[in-house]
Amino acid sequence: MSKRTDSNGYTMVFAVVMVLIVGSLLAFLASSLKPTIKENERIEKQQNILYAMGVNENDESSANFVSTSIAGEEFSKYIKKQIVIEGDKVSESDDAYLIDVKKQQANAKAGKVRKLPLFVGEKDGKTYYVAPIRGKGLWDAIWGYVSMDENMIVQGAYFDHKGETPGLGANIKQRYFMDDFIGEHLMTESGAFKGITVAKGNNDPKNEDKTDYEVDAIAGATITGDGISAMIKKDLALYVPYFKNLKK
């Protein structure tokens, strides 16, 4: 028995109507929710930056941001200066945290000057310099914020990812991994930039040696770990001239 739904005409009409309905539904939803989502992302950036400089609500083992309702307040309280570095030019801007690192990386590739945001925070009399980094993991983008003191010794780090494997690469945003970075040196004694490598081999599993330029890798997440090493080396190296100037 041939059904009405088997005819070519019906199939075509059905496909067109379905695409129209689904397309407009999704487009409508996406554009009407966009402002709310943008706002959420903006607050999250503030929370990330604060997290990296130690303003968070961490308990013993899990990573918790300051709550969204007070993120803006805390951000203006702790972040004293937002700096934009453009080549040799250093300027201040209150919206530096909105700079899209991905876009700036593309700019740099196209031969344009890359804007480097740096957030200067103060907590308990100590100054923190928080820099954003961004790179590639196994499946998709990974990014993070690293806070340093004026000698480029890491004071805190926050990592996040778009689509790393749950249970493996996704664990870069777990405390046990992020906390390993605290205290690690980025510069050698002679003042050369060395970065931090996410290393297999477990020479220092308790992470007591802070000048080995290594942290312990996550089992089963080699490529995500390599991505972290690469983005630290690549993106943080760009800030070295600023820190060298700072000391003069």
Which residues here bind other proteins, judged by CB under 8 A? Answer: 3, 5-6, 10-11, 14-15, 18-19, 22, 25-26, 29-30, 33, 36-37, 40, 44, 61-62, 68, 160-168, 170, 205-206, 219-220
Beta carbon nearer to other proteins, 33 or 237: 33
Min. distance of Cβ 177 from other proteins in angstroms?
13
Min. distance of Cβ 61 from other proteins in angstroms?
7
Min. distance of Cβ 163 from other proteins in angstroms?
5
Rg (CA), the chain: 22
Min. distance of Cβ 157 from other proteins in angstroms?
18
* Number of neighbouring beta carbons within 10 Å of residue 47: 24
Task: Give the β-pairing of 214-216 and 197-199.
Answer: parallel
Q: Where are the alpha helices (H) located in the chain, listed in sequence order?
A: 8-52, 68-78, 101-109, 175-178, 222-237, 240-247
Min. distance of Cβ 80 from other proteins in angstroms?
27
Whose structure tokens read 């308790």? 206
As given in the structure block, the two tokens for residue 89 are: 């030019």
Beta carbon nearer to other proteins, 85 or 198: 198
Beta carbon nearer to other proteins, 195 or 227: 227
Alpha carbon separation from 192 to 67, 69, 210, 234 (Å, rounded): 39, 42, 16, 14
Rounded Cα distance, 175 and 163, in Å: 18
| In contact, 224 and 164? CB cutoff 8 Å | yes
| In contact, 222 and 200? CB cutoff 8 Å | yes
Rounded Cα distance, 108 and 113, in Å: 6
As given in the structure block, the two tokens for residue 45 are: 């950036």
| In contact, 46 and 71? CB cutoff 8 Å | yes
Beta carbon nearer to other proteins, 167 or 241: 167
Beta carbon nearer to other proteins, 152 or 157: 157
Beta carbon nearer to other proteins, 122 or 183: 183
Min. distance of Cβ 87 from other proteins in angstroms?
35
Of residues 21, 82, 9, the one with CA closest to residue 50: 82
Min. distance of Cβ 183 from other proteins in angstroms?
17
Beta carbon nearer to other proteins, 87 or 163: 163
